[in-house]
Amino acid sequence: MGTIAALPGEVLIKGGTLYDPTTRKSRRMDIAVKNGLLVEPAGIRSGGAEVIDARGCIVTHGFIDIHGHFREPGREDKETLATGSRAALAGGFSRVCVMPNTDPPIDGPEGVSFILERSEGLPVAIYPIGAVTRGQGGEDLAELLEMRAAGAVAFSDDGVPIQDGQVLRRALYYTRDLGVPIINHAEDEHLRAGGIMNESALSTRLGLPGNPALAEAAMVYRDLLLAEDAGGRLHVPHVSTALAVDLVRRFKERGTAITAEATPHHLGLTEEAVRDFNTHAKVAPPLRSEEDRQAVVDGLVDGTLDCIATDHAPHTVEEKEQDMYRAPFGMIGLESAFGMAHTILRKAGLSGGQTGLSTEQVLDLLTTGPARVMGLELTPLEPGQPAELVVLAPDEEWTFTRDDIYSRSRNTPMLGLTFTGRVRATISRGSWFTSR
């Protein structure tokens, strides 16, 4: 059971190893924080500071999630910017880019300003993503330039795939000079055909409508061609299939300006998670086959995929207690993200048998990787800079329980799973989380 509180005036992180993801260098050292700023350890009173025992721990830059759904405005019963920020902090995140599929959607500069104003003073920095089309209706382009000027870091109709290729083509063309990505939830609605789980022998056996890997791959292929043609920046979210990983790899080899992400749940879970009709495992795109899962792992290990993103998607208990057909798609993910991703990536390795990633390489996928996709600068880990830190116990084994959840919602199939690697503390914007 952890706590989230205002950061004490003086904090000493003692005995850990500082890993700077921008230089990829590690150094054993104590780290001191005074009034929210990094200072030399000699600059704080001995005995007066709160001490974090970081022996055996890695201290690094706070994580960046480029794909969160915080549901404000409109569905504050699921999550708010404030409760989502607490979930983020508990997961080691200091920044979250929030998707615009709220009610109403964020499709103009006023909406972007609303999110920024509501986020002032929260423990993590919130970066709004604006809608690509008006009302996320998939037809008329939203006020992209105005939203960028107001502070939008990317554009997406996430939740709804952009079915009309010409609309996405124009969006990519208009945003070409802005340097910000267009993120399209890639699923062809006709191929998806109402599928609620992966199309496979298992979906046939369960009698549930299947969503084929083709539904994702066909749209990813279209999107990659459009990005190449229009010259804009495309980011492919939540890649779930071997086919889509292969397409991203091939287009990167051709030099197309594209990036892609994977979620911890597509790394660590397969369609087996819905075998007992568990609605918490109902996500879009769906959990796939073991071969697909391994391909997504390989994509992160070999650099085809650029970063880990949570697709944190809270829903109420009542909504998820409906049957498999009626329950909404999505699961929360911020609090379990590091545990799941680290557990899988450090031990899994490539399907060819190579070794897995180091803890530091996993940290890159949560810091420099997402920062590069969104064009964000990391805060330098130097005296005088704001403390934006996470303290990690890479070898700690722990079981994910309800006590670890800070989100307003609890929809996750990961309760009871044991992970290797735990967030011990997060320091961000004058707040801190400690897992003690």
Q: Which stretch binds Zn ion (CB under 5 A): 150-158, 268-276, 359-367, 391-399?
A: 150-158
Closest CB 193 distance from Zn ion, rounded Å: 18
DSSP secondary structure string for all residues of 260-301: EEE-HHHHH--GGGGTT--GGG--SSPP--HHHHHHHHHHHH
What's the Cα-to-Cα distance from 64 to each of 68, 123, 151, 287, 434, rounded to whole Å? 10, 13, 17, 23, 18
Closest CB 340 distance from Zn ion, rounded Å: 17
Q: Is the dihedral of CA 21, 26, 27, 28 positive or negative?
A: positive
Q: Which is nearer to Zn ion, 111 or 286 (CB)?
A: 286
Q: Are 83 and 406 in contact (CB under 8 A)?
A: yes
Closest CB 161 distance from Zn ion, rounded Å: 8
Question: What part of residues 265-324 is at the interface with Zn ion (CB under 5 A)?
Answer: 311
Structure tokens that stand for 224 in this block: 């990659």
Q: Which is nearer to Zn ion, 193 or 350 (CB)?
A: 193
DSSP secondary structure string for all residues of 111-154: HHHHHHHHTTT-SSEEEE-B-SBGGG-SSSB--HHHHHHHT---
Q: Which is nearer to Zn ion, 38 or 227 (CB)?
A: 227
Question: What part of residues 39-68 is at the interface with Zn ion (CB under 5 A)?
Answer: none
335 makes contact with Zn ion (CB under 5 A) = no
3-state SS class at 428: strand
Q: Which stretch binds Zn ion (CB under 5 A): 50-58, 70-78, 153-161, 411-419?
A: 153-161
Q: Which is nearer to Zn ion, 185 or 424 (CB)?
A: 185
Q: Which stretch binds Zn ion (CB under 5 A): 38-46, 146-154, 185-193, 428-436?
A: 185-193
Amino acid of residue 140: D
Q: Which stretch binds Zn ion (CB under 5 A): 180-188, 190-198, 357-365, 375-383?
A: 180-188
Q: Looking at 125-257, which runs of residues are DSSP E strands? A: 125-128, 155-156, 182-183, 197-198, 210-211, 234-236
* Cα gap 74→101, rounded to integer Å: 10
Q: Which is nearer to Zn ion, 158 or 298 (CB)?
A: 158
Closest CB 415 distance from Zn ion, rounded Å: 21
Closest CB 237 distance from Zn ion, rounded Å: 5
Residue nearest to Zn ion (CB): 185
Closest CB 99 distance from Zn ion, rounded Å: 5
Amino acid of residue 209: P
Closest CB 238 distance from Zn ion, rounded Å: 6
Amino acid of residue 279: T
Q: Which is nearer to Zn ion, 174 or 329 (CB)?
A: 329
- The reply to whether 311 belongs to the active site is yes
158 makes contact with Zn ion (CB under 5 A) = yes
Closest CB 185 distance from Zn ion, rounded Å: 3
Q: Which of 20, 223, 306, 311 is catalytic?
A: 311
Amino acid of residue 51: V
Q: Which stretch binds Zn ion (CB under 5 A): 140-148, 155-163, 176-184, 221-229?
A: 155-163
Q: Which is nearer to Zn ion, 185 or 280 (CB)?
A: 185
Q: Which stretch binds Zn ion (CB under 5 A): 47-55, 77-85, 181-189, 212-220?
A: 181-189
Task: Report the Cα 356 to chain-centroid distance in Å.
Answer: 21
* Cα gap 419→396, rounded to integer Å: 8
Crossing angle of helices 165-174 and 213-230, in 10° steps, is 40
Place of tokens 């921008």: 22
185 makes contact with Zn ion (CB under 5 A) = yes
Q: Which is nearer to Zn ion, 310 or 379 (CB)?
A: 310
Sequence-ordered list of residues with C-beta below 8 angstroms from that of 381, at least 6 positions apart, any chain: 18, 20, 38, 60, 61, 389
Q: Where on the chain is the footprint of Zn ion (CB under 5 A)?
A: 158, 185, 311
The residues carrying an active-site annotation are: 311
